[in-house]
Structure 1
Amino acid sequence: MKPTPRPFTQFVVKVHSRCDLACDHCYVYEHADTSWRRRPKVIGREVLDAVAERIGEHAAAHRLPVVRVVLHGGEPLLAGPDRLRHAAEALRAALPPGCALDLRIHTNGVQLSDAYCELFAELDVRIGISLDGDRASNDRHRRFADGRSSHPMVLRAVQRLRRPEYRHLFAGLLCTVDIENDPVAVYRALAELAPPAVDFLLPHATWEEPPKRVAGSGGTPYADWLLTVHALWEEDGRPFAVRTFESVHRTLRGLSSLTESLGLEPSDLVVLETDGSFEQADSLKTAYDGAPETGLDVFSHSLDQVALHPGIAARQTGTDGLSPTCRACPVVRSCGGGLYAHRYRADNGFDNPSVYCGDLMALINGIAGKDSPVSVPAPGGEPPLPPTASTVAPAAALTAAQLDELARGHGGEDTVRALSRAQSALTRAMLAAAWDASGRGRAEAWALLSELDVAAPAAVDAVLAHPYARAWAARRLAGDLSVGLGGLAALAAAAAVRAGRGDAVPVPVRGGWLHLPTLGRIAVPDGEAVVTGRADGLEVRASDGAVFTALDQPLRRIRLAGGWTVALEDLDPLRDSYDHPVTDRLSDGELLGWTGALREAWELLGRDLPQYAEGIRTGLATVTPLRPGPDGRDVSSAARQAYGAVGIARPSTAPTLALLLAHEFQHVKLGAVLDLFDLHDRADDRLYFAPWRPDPRPLEGLLQGTYAHLAVTEYWGTRTAAYDGLPGEAADRARARFALWRRYTAEAVERLAESGALTPLGRGFADGMRESLSPWLAVPLPAAAERDAERARLERGQLKPAEA
């Protein structure tokens, strides 16, 4: 079968192959590769037109909602304003409808002027600048050929980008680590410039040309340097984004990395040189002369052909593409083997750990220690109490500011991360309580989980973050004995496979499938199978002696723009946690449909509901496909005991999917809050009518519905604003739905406030919801839209947010 190429979403276009600085740590001119000498100085217009056409056809073929293009060099500003304008206009014109262009330029800043800033403001190009810290730190490497300092000129460029008229163009700073520089001085100098982001990069090195070491600096000087910066960054409240630190935090929780230097996400980047040749990642120039070359060019080859190049495919195979040492490492899910170029050694190529291996492990473990995860209790010890707010670790509690943010319906990355930590603690407590209440059977599985929680915590964290791990514990605690202890054994087995240490655990098999949460399933005869996690994968020995070493049906994940990776969970036996039936395994065609729909929906969420999208990206890791409702009716659901997941029947349009994702994740967030705090009197047994339903519900049901419809109101309000002054059926429909849902939600907030059953914190939540609705209620609408809303209110029925 012909392999299916993974689409590229990031493109580096070299617009100039020379530089006006002579930085002695530059991988382009100072390391192994010398191809720059043979290439044109400036990219030709015909090359730009061809690459724009290739990117456009690639985006159309893969239904990409957004592509990121970085104009690079050398020094890209040397290409001149006319060539840069042509690049931006050609790229934007070539993209298909519905595909956005995230266009950036990375420069040393020396040439950046007001004229360039005006050009980039016109063309919507964001600007990143290289700066290694204070003057002494920057001048260690970033100088002109005659030795002059570049620091004053770069500083002027950054200050120019801080001006109000250009601030929106400032993408951030790139700082290359030098362990001879004072990390405190570097951090303070960069932080003083108030950048939106800083990338701290390890200097490119290989086993042939190892990184600099300084006498007396210890065994992991680069980790020590970065951990010093990390501590300052945390103390300052994370004033700007740092992809390296955030990627470690994310991968430790089983989420995707934000940088190719860490994590196991497949590579989705390709480079175009000034002569029109396609290359692999630029960092490979540090390995050997010609290392990034593919032999393919923009005139003769499509991007799908480039994606199938063996060098690129090698960086898309997860742990299979790593050395045995890396596969056996407990932090491999976070480290990912490090940057591909940093693994190079002449005798065996890239089949090695990173030359920074010790530093990466120390960095990841140092940051993990700051996260203070809650451990699984050891067998024989006293299990925690059943889950209540008091069992949640104090470190996971929400601040007053975070509660206020949630009360308004929103919740950014830090707030949702705090919810996730609290849910993790509850899941662990519930697992312990379920195991204890079940007579402490499957002790070997519990013992292995406890051992791995110390030896390979990332493996255990990733498995316990799976939403249906908690669903298993909840059913056992509710007395559902049909959910056997095999679920606990399966969790331990999945953790063992992720840890890859050679641990073995027996797992009962029923129905011909062995399911490993977060991984997938294997067709295995019924009985008891022994699962062993090995450095190179897994081994399953079935009851009849048959041995299996690969998953028949892996859990499939979709990586979306902006760092969101979502699993399409169509395998887990406990995914039937919703009030609607789930689908069976998706066909390849259905998977493709889901992939395209999610990409489009995610783009819409980022555009129309940005204050909700950030929380979704942080906390929603799983979408479980449901069967459509009667007559194809849109169906969606959230399960209280499955944090991080929603169930949805794929609707016919991406806007409806975007709305359902936002609506259901509101339920997920509020459920997590209600696990921590009482917002209402739980003894109140009265029933309340919600404006959108014909049947009365308990107060918590009204609260949940009201909270979910904050997102619905904002969605339709944003859509209405986009149609401002425009005629047409779509515009009229958006206005009518906005009128209806803002009215419904406002009525429900007041019904909650008047119930007399809210706690003081609950009354604060009602105030927050009211405040969030206030500006939407003030938006003027045509009388026809208000009449439609009133008619729908009087004909009240059970409505979904996309149906009214």
Structure 2
Amino acid sequence: MDRSPVPLRQFVLKVHSRCDLACDHCYVYEHADTSWRGRPRAVPDEVLVRTADRIAEHAAAHGTAAVHVVLHGGEPLLAGPARLRRAAEELHRALDGVCALDLRIHTNGVLLDERFLDLFAEFGVKVGISLDGDRTANDRHRRFADGRSSHPHVLRAVGLLRRPRYRHLFAGLLCTVDVRNDPAAVHDALAELDPPRVDYLLPHATWEQPPPRPGGGTPYADWLLAVLDRWDGQGRPFPVRVFDSVERTLRGGSSLTESLGLEPSDLVVVETDGTLEQADSLKTAFDGAPATGLDVFSHTFDEASRHPGMLARTQGLDGLAAECRACPVVRSCGGGLYAHRYRAGSGFANPSVYCGDLMQLITGIRDRLAAAPVPSPPQPGPPVLPEAHLDELAAGFGGAEAVRSLARAQLGIVRELLAAVRQRSADLSADRSAPAAAAWELLTALDSDAPDALDAVLAHPYTRAWAVRCLEGAAGADAGGLAEVAAAAALRAGRDEPVRVPVRGGAVRLPTLGRVLVGGDGGEAVVSGGPDGFTVAAGGAVLRIGRDDPPGDRWHPVRRLAAPGWTVALEDTDPYRDGHQWPVAGRLPDGEAEAWRAGLAEAWELIGRELPRYAPGLSAGLSTVTPLEAPAGQDVSAAVRQAFGAVGIARPGRADVLALLLVHEFQHVKLGAVLDLADLHDPEDTRLHYAPWREDPRPLEGLLQGTYAHIAVADFWRVRRHTARGAAAAEAEVHFARWRRHTAEAVEVLAGSGSLTPLGMRFAEGMRATVAPWLEEPVAPEAARGARLAAQRHREAWQARAAAGS
């Protein structure tokens, strides 16, 4: 099945076509393609200007939220500071007011010095460094032409990036695997440099030029799995893209790299002469393999996206060889990197030359995940949250593993709630053949045979919301929800058992999957899985829904956004999503859903770029965004204590506001999960307190929730005052001055309340340690004055209302 061209979002801009090293594994100079020989050494002005304008044209035409541009080579630093400045200036000029720019440079680090880093700090250019491990490992390939080692030069470059002044520019390390190197020694050498991320890359190879396999077998998988075990044993001190990508795809999420997963490629290369090429990795296949025959002077990026070679890398499962399509790990593997599939005679219609290694790697990671100890469900008494995670969260942030620990505990809570629902239904019904009883038997079987599929449905935020309502006897919530959970889990697991489910409001609810409109109200439908999809039988009719069927009048699948590092559901189908304080939106029209996708993608870009301490936790724990309705002109959002992983938002008109609402509400989600595990305050304290973010006085827990959420609010404005422009920057500084003060004061009210438990005091200390230094940051006098006036007006109005009500 052919697909429409994918808008391009990743642009590799070659600024220099030569290199100061002679790495023997380099795909540009040492593999099949020789096109570099006829190109200008340094990119000329006219190519920079035209490229920047073409990128802006393409982004504007497709409503792109952000583009990623990598300055590359050869060795890009050979272009010199003046040429790199010109490149950054042209890109910022062209994209100003069009979309966000994520600008990076990939270098061997040999020439990196403070001149370059000061330039990169001025334009926000993130720096990735190639380093293959310790000196022994690095010197196997990365040497100067005369044989000298490059290792000390690279260590010096990384040392500069680790300085506080430049640390925010450090994007990570890229390491090409050589299985002759000791995996533990390589990993330890990289870990010692405290990188923000590490990419382990398979050396480029094809079926015509296969990779070395000393001893046979799957040495690349064995090498990477040894690194995985080392990384795990160290507590995963930094992200590793290949491992994170496999784990994400095994859980049904998106990959973080084009070498894994089924996401379409959206990358194009601009050479120093302005010609457009496909991914550089294709240079390893045959001479001229990346060529398109296009250039930035005569062709648009839309034309590039329609090139047959570009389209071939956007076909997902349909673009793979039959052997790959039938493979059980294809959704994680994705056929491997496109270039690695090449064989003379059959082109790229083959499995990867690393097929066996990828299978071994993915199944090895899957088996390790399955064997990992599962925490017991929360029990009364001491909190099950590890102290280190509690401290991370108390500071207002919380990394991916800390948030995952909250999610695992939530899964235990939901399991207990389901058991309570089952017990309640058994107590109320003597009919053991009722749908709830049959569903419970299927759930028990799935828990044994397909636990990942079941956990995916139990982790759906509104599964807990339904269970709590059911136990409370709320209208519309009953034990039939067990059948809905069972049906959805069975479909996810590929099971074909028919499941009797209730029909509610004319629809069949399949949590995490969507809803099917069958008409009528009340009664039952039968959901049955199959190899290509599923069927729903109701009212004498059978509706067949294919695995890849698009949304229709009767099939409303849950829409999902897969952004780099984050997969989120746009939930507008589940009837139990209505617990937010604002009305929920109905099923979104396609145009509004697309606006949501674009807005969330742009907001996520902003969070990753400007609020990187919040992004890992949000990626790990925020699975669902529920669209809300809002009064005209108001930005509204909400979180529900009984729906971990979900926030409700009325889509604002600006991506920065959406980013603020996401981080703000996710603070409530995190803290609610902490409060499920740990007593932070005395629930008998019924005093009410002034909260500068509310019109009404708040109980202690409400003040705690608001304070914690406003750490993110204050931090958002703290950063935006530097990244926004003009009047927006001045407005952000006023907001920062106001909310840092209010948040700090609220922390002191909590700490001095006398009602915090020892853990609560520890939590308050963590918040104080984050907020207190912000009070020392200078702000403009007019911003400080504006903040004081806003605070004064709010308190006076609050006092007037309190006096009128007394």
Question: TM bucket by the smaller chain?
Answer: 0.7 to 0.9
Q: Which runs of 5+ in 2 are unaligned?
A: 427-431, 802-806
Deviates more, 1:147-156 or 1:122-131: 147-156
Q: What's the counterpart of residue 107 of structure 2?
A: 107
Cα deviation for residue 52 of structure 1 reads: 1.2
* CA displacement, residues 778-797 of structure 1 (integer Å, 9 cap, x when unaligned): 66764564244223212129
Q: 1:688 to 1:164 in 2, by over 3 A?
A: closer
SS in 2 for 1:200: strand
1:438 aligned partner: 425
Map of 1:93-242 to 2, 5 A cutoff?
93-97=93-97, 99-112=99-112, 120=120, 124-143=124-143, 149-151=149-151, 153-155=153-155, 157-158=157-158, 161=161, 169-215=169-215, 219-242=217-240
Residue 28 of structure 1 aligns to a residue whose secondary structure is: coil
Distance verdict in 2 for CA 1:761–1:546, change over 3 Å: closer
State whether residues 385 and 405 of structure 2, in contact with CA within 8 Å, keep that contact through their aligned partners in structure 1. Answer: yes
Moved more, 419-428 or 663-672: 419-428
CA contact (8 A) 2:603 2:656 kept: yes
Provide the secondary structure at the position in 2 that maps to 1:438: helix
CA contact under 8 A between 1:694 and 1:798: conserved in structure 2? no
Instruction: Give the one of 468, 471, 477 matched to 2:465.
Output: 471
Give me the whole-angstrom Cα distance separating, in 2, the residues matched to 1:731 and 1:194: 33
- Which of 252, 257, 260 is the aligned partner of 1:259? 257
Alignment partner for residue 421 of structure 1, among 376, 395, 408? 408
From 523, 531, 538, give the equivalent of 2:533: 538
| Aligned counterpart, 1:243 | 241
Output the TM-score relative to the length of structure 1.
0.84
Q: Which residue of 2 aligns with 1:341?
A: 339
Q: Which residue of 1 aligns with 2:614?
A: 612
State the one-letter code of the partner of 2:600: L
CA distance in 2, matches of 1:325, 1:753: 62
C-alpha distance 514-355 of structure 1, shift in aligned 2 (>3 A): farther
Provide the C-alpha distance between the structure 1 equivalents of 2:478 and 2:742, rounded to a whole number of angstroms: 43
How far does residue 668 in structure 1 lie from its aligned partner after superposition? 0.3
Q: In structure 1, how many angstroms separate the alpha carbons of the residues matched to 2:31 and 2:497?
A: 46
The Cα of 1:12 is off from its aligned counterpart by: 0.9
Note if contact 1:23-1:143 (Cα within 8 Å) is conserved in structure 2.
Answer: yes
Match of 1:557 in 2: 560
The 1:133–1:752 alpha-carbon spacing in structure 2 relative to 1, beyond 3 Å, is closer
**Amino acid of the residue matched to residue 423 of structure 1?**
Q
Q: How does 1:659-670 map to 2 (within 5 A)?
A: 659-670=660-671
CA change 1:795–1:94 in 2 (3 A) is: same
Secondary structure of 1:401's counterpart equals helix
> Is the Cα–Cα contact under 8 Å of residues 513 and 523 in structure 1 kept in the other structure?
yes
The 2-side partners of 1:135 and 1:98 are apart by 44
**Residue of structure 1 equivalent to 2:395:** 408
Number of residue-to-residue matches in the alignment: 777
**Residue 508 of structure 1 aligns to which amino acid in structure 2?**
V
Deviation at 1:554, TM superposition (A): 3.7
Q: Which residue of 2 aligns with 1:628?
A: 630
Paired residue type of 2:354? Y
Q: Distance in 2 between matches of 1:149 and 1:442?
A: 69
Deviation of 1:638 after TM superposition, in Å, equals: 0.6
Report which stretch shifted further, 257-266 or 517-526. Answer: 517-526
8 A Cα contact 1:692 1:797, kept in partner:
no
SS of 1:586 mapped into structure 2 = coil
Task: Write the distance in 2 (CA, Å) between the matches of 1:492 and 1:324.
Answer: 32
- State the secondary structure of the residue aligned to 2:133: coil
**Aligned position for 1:53:** 53
Aligned-partner residue type, residue 299 of structure 1: F
Partner of 2:804: none
What's the offset of the Cα at 1:90?
2.2
Query: What is the alpha-carbon distance in structure 2 between the residues aligned to residue 697 and residue 160 of structure 1?
Result: 48
Task: State the 1:489 CA deviation.
Answer: 4.3
**What is the Cα deviation at residue 128 of structure 1?**
2.7
Secondary structure at the counterpart of residue 614 of structure 2: helix
Cα distance in 1 for partners of 2:440, 2:322 equals: 27
C-alpha contact (below 8 Å) 2:692/2:794 kept by paired residues: no
Amino acid in the other structure paired with 1:426:
I
**Cα RMSD for the two superposed structures:** 4.0
Distance 2:525 2:751 in 1: 55
Tell me the amino acid that sits aligned with residue 533 of structure 2: L
Look up the equivalent residue of 1:57 and give its one-letter code: E
* Counterpart-to-counterpart distance in 1, 2:734 and 2:109: 50
Deviation at 1:248, TM superposition (A): 3.1
Aligned equivalents of 1:322, 1:456: Cα separation in 2: 27
- Opposite residue 580 of structure 1, the aligned amino acid is W
Query: Is the CA contact 2:177–2:200 (under 8 Å) kept in the aligned structure 1?
Result: yes
Taking the TM superposition and a 5 Å limit, the aligned residue runs for 1:667-678 are: 667-678=668-679
Instruction: Give the letter aligned to residue 548 of structure 1.
Output: I
Report the alpha carbon displacement of residue 641 of structure 1 after superposing the two structures with TM.
Answer: 1.9
Shift of 1:209: 4.2
Q: Do residues 651 (structure 1) and 652 (structure 2) align?
A: yes
Q: Deviations over 1:676-703 (max 9, x none)?
A: 1111234556666655545555543333
Q: Could you tell me whether the CA contact under 8 Å between 1:740 and 1:792 is conserved in 2?
A: no
- The 2-side partners of 1:109 and 1:37 are apart by 23
Structure 1 residue 346: Cα displacement: 5.1
Report matched runs for 1:303-314 at 5 Å: 303-314=301-312
Equivalence for 1:296: 294
Matched, 1:506 2:499: yes
1:409-450: CA deviation from partner (whole Å, max 9, x where unpaired): 222333223222322333344334434543484566556656
Structure-2 change in CA distance of 1:135 and 1:66 (3 Å):
same
The whole-number CA distance in structure 2 between the counterparts of 1:165 and 1:742 is 24
Post-superposition CA distance 1:546-593 (Å, at most 9, x none): 533124244333344x63333322222332232322111222332343
Q: Distance in 1 between matches of 2:381 and 2:458?
A: 17
State the alpha-carbon separation in 2 of the partners of residues 24 and 451 from structure 1.
54
Q: Provide the secondary structure at the position in 2 that maps to 1:796.
A: helix
Q: CA deviation at 1:496?
A: 4.8
- Conserved? CA contact 1:331–1:456, under 8 Å: no
Distance in 2, Cα, partners of 1:735 & 1:240: 32
**Structure 1 equivalent of residue 792 of structure 2:** 790
Structure 1: distance between partners of 2:323 and 2:437: 30
Distance 2:746 2:391 in 1: 19
Rate the CA distance shift 1:546–1:798 in 2: closer, same or farther, 3 A. farther
Please tell me the residue identity of whatever aligns with 1:556.
R
In structure 2, the residue matched to 1:709 is: 710
Deviation, structure 1 residue 222: 1.6
Deviations along 1:372-411, one digit per CA (max 9) or x if unpaired, are 678999xxxxxx9xx644599x9xx433233223223222
Partner of 1:570: 572
* Aligned partner of residue 798 in structure 2, secondary structure: coil
Of residues 255, 277, 280, the one that matches 2:278 is 280
**Stretch deviating more after TM superposition (659-668 or 680-689):** 680-689
Question: How far is 1:186 from its partner?
Answer: 1.8
Q: Distance in 2 between matches of 1:329 and 1:701?
A: 51
Query: Structure 2 vs 1, CA of residues 35 and 736 (structure 1 numbering), >3 Å: closer, same or farther?
Result: closer
1:201 Cα deviation after fit:
0.7
Q: In the TM superposition, what is the alpha-carbon distance from 1:50 to its structure 2 partner?
A: 1.4
SS at match of 1:566: strand
**Following the alignment from structure 2 to structure 1, what is the Cα–Cα distance between the partners of residues 81 and 75?**
13
Aligned to 1:10: 10
CA distance in structure 2 between the partners assigned to 1:351 and 1:443 by the alignment: 49
CA distance, structure 1, for counterparts of residue 475 and residue 372 of structure 2: 27
Contact persistence 1:496–1:503 (CA under 8 A): yes
In 2, the alpha carbon distance for the partners of 1:376 and 1:522 equals 34
Q: Distance in 2 between matches of 1:339 and 1:767?
A: 48
